[in-house]
A and B are shown apart, each in its own frame.
Chain A
Amino acid sequence: MNGVSEEALPSQPSVLPAKRARATTSTFSRVTRYTAVRLVTLFVTVVIGVYLTILIANMGGYVDQIRRGEIRESVGMLVMTDPTFKTMPTEMRQQRIEELVRLQEKRLGLDRPFLVRSFNYLSNALSLNLGRAQNMTSDSGSKQVRLILLERLPPTLVLFATSNLILFFVEIFMALYLSRRYGSFLDKIIVALAPTSSAPAWFYGIFLILIFAALLKILPFGGMVDAPPPTEPLAYALSLLKHLILPVLALAISTIFLSVYTWRTFFLIYSSEDYVEMAKAKGLTSREIERRYVLRPTLPTIITTFALNLITLWTGAPILETVFNWPGLGRTLFRAVGLYETSVIVGSTVIFAYLLAITVFLLDFIYALVDPRVKIGESGRP
């Protein structure tokens, strides 16, 4: 998950070749042109990404063979157990089986070649027509992929949105604080602890479960609420809170030290610019210096990280959710893979791709808003 936040950092508005239009007429046409080209490239990116996912998730058509086998088996079982078929002569029965198999295959669209269907899947996915799952059902009993995914969204949001939001702001403020007094004892501790973030959250989760659930027995091993879930809203919230502590803590331990260290170093680099020295010489308060001269130039990066942080919520974290038995999107995705449930995999991917494309698109404009040096459609920043 960390990879994504770094990946899109330098996504500067530099897609168009440098073409300095005349200043008078250009602004509007430049922005429109840029917007159009950007939208097209992003859409093509999404299309290719989703199509690749469809190919991988269908194993290039091999999943179809598995499906066919399943159909044949289930039809065979049906015919074996149905007494009306018992009296039929063998040939007729065989014919009947073939007919049933053909009907089922037609129902699932297996009678058409995979390549044709793959484009069908693609257009369905891109129009967010996510279709129905074959083997999975939502807890409410629906086979709609949309419902299966939506049902899992709240638990993921509760866990990852709370932790990511809290962590993000805590990290930024701690980093600012440390950059102000770098070299202090606390700063040294954070620098020394930064390598601990090489282990993922689930890893610390296991330790936390061991300490707080197995040894001290004060917090639950996993799950989202007590079983049976409390009916009273307050009791429900408390139970949810109790179950949240360990996974949030695991996420915090695994990211906070490295992030604070990175942000602190990032702020320090900006604090050593000449204009900051100048501001200091002018006698501005450190709070003012921070706001005007450190935070402002770093704002695009902070916003990018924040936005990408938000999108990665969509994928959840399959392993952390598995370790904590958290009923989120990540685990659903993992279960979908295990059940060859391509519709769910593709559905989740296409939503992520759209979210990402929209964010990347919007970020370009946000850059231009927060940083007057950036002009949309011009190559690079000065």
Chain B
Amino acid sequence: MSALQRSFRELLRYPSAIVGLIIIAGLLILSAYTLITIPYREAIRLWRGGEEVWYQNPKNAGPTWFNYFTRRKLSESMILSSKEGLGKTISQDSQGNNRIVISFPIDYSFDTFPLDLSIYFTSVYQDKPPHVSITWLTPDGREIRIGDFSVKRTQTFRLAQDSKLLRRLGGQSPEKGLFAKPNVSPPVPLKGEYELRIEGFTFEPNSDVDAEFVVYGQLHGLAGTDHLRRDLTVALLWGTPVALAFGLLAALGTTITTMVIAAFGVWFGGWVDEIIQRITEINLVLPFLPILIMVSTFYSRSIWVILGVTIVLSIFGGAIKTYRAVFLQVKESPYIEAARAYGASNLRIIFAYLTPRIIPMLIPQLVVLIPSFVFLEASLAVLGLGDPVLPTWGKIINDAQANGALYQGYYYWVLEPAALLIITGLAFAMLGFSLDRIFNPRLRGL
């Protein structure tokens, strides 16, 4: 134990190792948080969901923190719903009919107009649908009638598609006309407190009406949205455990099997060793990436199948020769002789005496390997061969590429997953390089 502690204390002398460790710890916490708050099924439901899940989000909206860096504040998304009782008052008239007033206050302090406005109605009734009339109150005291109609059980009212409203606003589309300063051209938004007032009349005892007002802004949420209105935070969060799991499992699986196989080859020698050497050479001929591409195109795109194939193809990689060279030296050590003399079995010698000697060499390699596998998964996803179900960082980049994010200026769409990828890669690489210098005495001080 003390050796381990000593190594750890030595590790803390390298600033890059400390930074790496902190980032890795942060990523692990983020993964745990993700797995707890968004369970697997929920993540898939959200990521595979269409309009019915994401109707409240604008398309291709940037992240809201964008506004911290610009003087011109872009419009942010707002969702106001009366279902939680927001701004809803109910009064009864003499005939037993309900008069429902829903009043949404909107504090608008942005320099650009929203992209779109919609009101989603839900109502409860037997035969006679409720009737609503909608008015818009501006900060400078104007009152604009938006519309009167009766609402069905679920009804979507898109303001931009209402031709009467369009005419009333002098030909300006509602998302501009409602927020614009009067008689200014080109139109600029008027900042201040707006109010959307919905008056509903129900004609049955248990009838009710609810409304949800969605202002689609240019910015939405912590991470923005993609072309399918999906909130990118889901995929960014879920990408973390997937990337870490893939990287860790692939690196662990590869290095440990390689080590064990190299140890067996050296210990038993002869034809066992010969076969292992030949397989290594054949493996060199096999095209690694094309085979992975073939497997994911022909057989399965499940991330776990890809993980398995990656491990199988990497086992007989170059590392086997390095380990073999070390084992060949260790095999001749006196303590192995001693073990043989007291009658230790082959397996005991391999696992208790041979393999532990290589662990110091193995750990740095393992840590350095992790980012390459994380990026491998992302690479496959960028080629469009990512796991069809799970949201991952690479798939976000692939979506962004496929929809021309860079051409159209949706930089956040590429930069967010890319930033997470490079942070993860750098963290493991920095830790691994420091470990290499500690465990590899030839590199000490270089």
Contacts and interface: CB of A to CB of B under 8 A. Distances in A.
A39 interface: no
Contacts of B188: none
A124 B411 CA distance: 49
Nearest to B434: A195
B321 interface: yes
B286 interface: yes
A244 interface: no
A349 interface: yes
Interface string A185-228: 00000001011111110110011011001100000010000000
A203 B293 contact: no
A320 to B, nearest CB: 10
Contact of A203 (B368, B401, B421, B432): B421
Contacts of B293: 318, 333-334, 337
A62 B382 contact: no
Interface stretch (B167-175, B345-353, B423-431): B423-431
A56 B297 CA distance: 11
Contacts of A45: 278, 281-282, 284-285
A8 B318 contact: yes
A49 B446 contact: no
B318 A345 contact: no
A83 interface: no
B409 interface: yes
Size class of the A contact interface (CB-based, 8 Å) = 35 or more
A206 B317 CA distance: 29
Given A3-B317, A56-B294, A41 B421 contact: no
B9 interface: no
Contact of A315 (B281, B287, B295): B287
A343 to B, nearest CB: 14
A10 B325 contact: yes
Nearest to A14: B277
A265 interface: yes
A101 interface: no
Contacts of B397: 206
A6 B318 contact: yes
B62 to A, nearest CB: 15
B282 A48 contact: yes
B97 interface: no
A200 B278 contact: no
B contact residues, range: 35 or more
Contacts of B282: 45, 48-49, 52
A214 B430 contact: no
A182 interface: yes
B433 A194 contact: yes
A8 B284 contact: yes
Contact of B406 (A214, A268, A340, A348): A214
Interface in B290-336: 290-291, 293-295, 297-299, 314, 317-319, 321-322, 325
Nearest to A5: B318
B294 A41 contact: no
Interface stretch (B118-126, B203-211, B229-237, B371-379): B371-379
A348 B407 contact: no
A206 B401 CA distance: 9
A4 interface: yes
A94 to B, nearest CB: 32
A139 B371 CA distance: 38
Q: Is the interface of B mostly helix, strand, loop or mixed?
A: helix
Given A56-B295, A195-B426, A195-B433, A10 B322 contact: yes
Given A195-B16, A195-B429, A348-B290, A203 B318 contact: no
A323 interface: yes
Interface string B26-70: 000000000000000000000000000000000000000000000
Nearest to B376: A200
A315 B318 CA distance: 19
Given A7-B284, A8-B318, A195-B429, A202 B406 contact: no
Contacts of B325: 10
Contact of A349 (B290, B321, B368, B426): B290
A50 B285 contact: yes
A252 interface: no
Contacts of A323: 382, 401
B287 A352 contact: yes
Nearest to A197: B429
A9 B318 CA distance: 8
Given A56-B291, A59-B299, A269-B442, A334 B383 contact: yes
B22 interface: no
A123 B175 CA distance: 69
B414 A196 contact: no
Nearest to A350: B285
Given A206-B406, A345-B294, A348-B290, A198 B284 contact: no
Given A196-B426, A356-B284, A41 B382 contact: no
B418 interface: yes
Contacts of B290: 315, 318, 333-334, 337, 345, 348-349
A318 B289 contact: yes
Contacts of B298: 59, 62-63, 337, 340
Nearest to B406: A214
Interface in A252-300: 265, 268-269
Interface string A46-90: 101110110011010011000000000000000000000000000
Which residue, of A45, A269, A357, has the highest number of chain B Cβ atoms within 10 A? Answer: A45
Nearest to A179: B446
B288 interface: yes
Contact of B383 (A214, A322, A340): A322
Contact of A210 (B281, B284, B294, B414): B414
Contacts of B401: 206, 323
A338 to B, nearest CB: 6
A9 B443 CA distance: 19
A198 B286 contact: no
Interface in B93-113: none
A163 to B, nearest CB: 18
Contact of B375 (A9, A198, A340, A349): A198
B135 to A, nearest CB: 44
A159 interface: no
Residue among B282, B314, B422 with max Cβ neighbours from chain A (10 Å):
B282
A353 interface: yes
Contacts of B414: 206, 210
A207 B318 contact: no
Contacts of B284: 4, 7-8, 45, 49, 356
Would you list the 9 A-B pairs with minimal beta carbon distance, nearest first? A49-B285, A7-B318, A195-B429, A198-B371, A198-B425, A198-B429, A6-B318, A353-B285, A45-B281
16 contacts: A7-B317, A45-B281, A49-B282, A53-B286, A56-B295, A198-B375, A203-B421, A206-B397, A265-B443, A319-B382, A323-B401, A334-B293, A338-B297, A345-B290, A349-B287, A356-B285
Interface of B: 16, 278, 280-282, 284-291, 293-295, 297-299, 314, 317-319, 321-322, 325, 368, 371-372, 375, 378-379, 382-383, 397, 401, 406-407, 409, 411, 414-415, 418, 421-422, 425-426, 428-430, 432-433, 442-443, 446
